[in-house]
Chains A and B, each alone.
Chain A
Amino acid sequence: MIPGPFAYHRPTSVKDAVSLLGSLGEDARAIAGGHSLIPMMKLRLASPAHLIDLSGVADLKGIREDGRDIVIGAMTTQHELVGSELLANKIPILRETSLQIADPQVRYVGTVGGNVANGDPGNDMPAVMMCLNATYHAVGKTGERRIAAREFYQGAYLTVLKPGELVTAIRIPVPAAGHGYAYEKLKRKIGDYATAAAAVVLTLNGGKVATCSVGLTNVAETPLWAEEAGKILTGSALDAATVKKAVAAAEAITSPASDGRGPAAYRTKMAGVMLTRALARAKERTGA
């Protein structure tokens, strides 16, 4: 399996990368870790004439605090997310999710920017970013704009990103101290995409849910933010009856494909099971 020929570019600044993307047009693709793109190129499902390697752009790296947000450079690898003390303290669901992505070798190379920007519904980070209400910084010829993760995904491999635009960073509002969280992923084996997965971030106040946000992975053409499920749970004590109602609301918005991971009805049910487990574990973890 040998990819088709291409010209290789290695810009050292975001400006140069965006200008290359703009001038080379549709035949150019940006490459981050390459662990989605290179397999596609080997199968000749993608054959870009130009590859713009972002690994030389120092500005796309790193994790920093900015006021009440944490900003993660798009070229930050899953391995770096796992190792970050800052994230472990402030947004631990990112570490929990990263550890469930692929395998160690892939995590050393795979980037969070590639994971969120590629638009693959099997990727784990998009639903987590929707759950956390993250914002993506996108830079194009005309400058930077910010796009809510919850409005970013339109279909399988289809996002609101315009041709020539590059996701440069991900901005995440830090959840309240003492929040509970969990990412529950059902997969057939290490390295597999989710059969179904659920992300939960919640806060409790006096035993009642003060805020609750739910994301779902790989049970529709796009990652899902289960807004209704979160609303149902808010104000409850996470009692069995309310959880059941919220799970039903989450299951109702899924529309998974029937494939090697199981028939659609099964995958919908598993999304519900993952959500139930994630809620229980998030509750256990709250400091309130």
Chain B
Amino acid sequence: MTVNGKKVEELVEPRTLLIHFLREQLNLTGPHIGCETSHCGACTVDLDGKSVKSCTMFAVQANGADIRTIEGMAAADGTLHALQEAFREMHGLQCGFCTPGMITRAYRLLQENKNPTEEEIRFGIAGNLCRCTGYQNIVKAIQYAAAKMNGVPFQEAAE
């Protein structure tokens, strides 16, 4: 498979879950293990143009896939991806546990819908739980990133 642009070839036991493979064999600890029951979305990664919960997929099922984790979001020179910058600027996180999943999910959402409404954002991140922020600033951060990626100034909605 390809992970964050690099070819990877490893031997796994069939029962190895993708999240364990990424974290323990590839040392990519950005995707988190949260609920382990495909509810919380902390383990979300981008796989062949889909957001998937890597705790509910076997590594063997991802054979040949193109995967992107939070580690693959920033540019090679360290410049943050628009979403990473947005989460920092808009205080889209507090403890940060859900953030890698939120950002990788929001990345795919913005690929499919370049200018989502607030409602579309909330529906689009419905598979990711955050226990700190109350989601307000996460939604704002995604709106900020969408504006930046579209090259238009970000206008915060009136409270």
Contact B15 A2, beta carbon cutoff 8 Å: yes
Tell whether A241 is near chain B: CB-to-CB under 8 Å.
Answer: no
Interface mask (B27-57 → A, CB under 8 Å = 1, otherwise 0): 0000000001111010010000011110011
Contact-residue size bin, chain B (C-beta under 8 Å from the other chain): 20 to 34
- CB nearest neighbor in A for B56: A38
Tell whether B9 is near chain A: CB-to-CB under 8 Å.
Answer: no
Q: How many interface residues does A have (CB within 8 Å)?
A: 28
In the complex, the number of residue pairs spanning A and B with C-beta atoms less than 8 Å apart equals 76
A-side interface residues toward B, CB under 8 Å?
Answer: 1-8, 10, 34-35, 38-39, 41-42, 51, 53, 55, 79, 102-106, 108-109, 190-191
CB neighbours (8 Å) of B38 from chain A are 35, 39, 105-106
CB neighbours (8 Å) of B147 from chain A are none
CB neighbours (8 Å) of A39 from chain B are 37-38, 56
Most chain A CB within a 10 A radius of its CB, from B13, B44, B58, B109:
B58
CB neighbours (8 Å) of A3 from chain B are 15, 17
CA A146 to CA B158, docked complex, whole Å: 57
Which 7 pairs show the lowest CB-CB distances between chains A and B? A103-B127, A8-B14, A108-B50, A190-B126, A105-B127, A3-B15, A103-B126
CA A35 to CA B56, docked complex, whole Å: 7
Q: A106-B127, A191-B127 are in contact. List 15 more A-B contacts (CB 8 A).
A: A2-B20, A3-B15, A6-B15, A34-B57, A39-B37, A42-B36, A42-B37, A51-B58, A103-B41, A103-B126, A105-B41, A105-B105, A105-B127, A109-B50, A191-B126
Taking the nearest CB of chain B, how far is it from the CB of A106, in angstroms?
6
Taking the nearest CB of chain B, how far is it from the CB of A228, in angstroms?
36
Tell whether B61 is near chain A: CB-to-CB under 8 Å.
Answer: yes
Contact B14 A105, beta carbon cutoff 8 Å: no
Most chain A CB within a 10 A radius of its CB, from B50, B56, B109, B127:
B56
Taking the nearest CB of chain B, how far is it from the CB of A170, in angstroms?
22
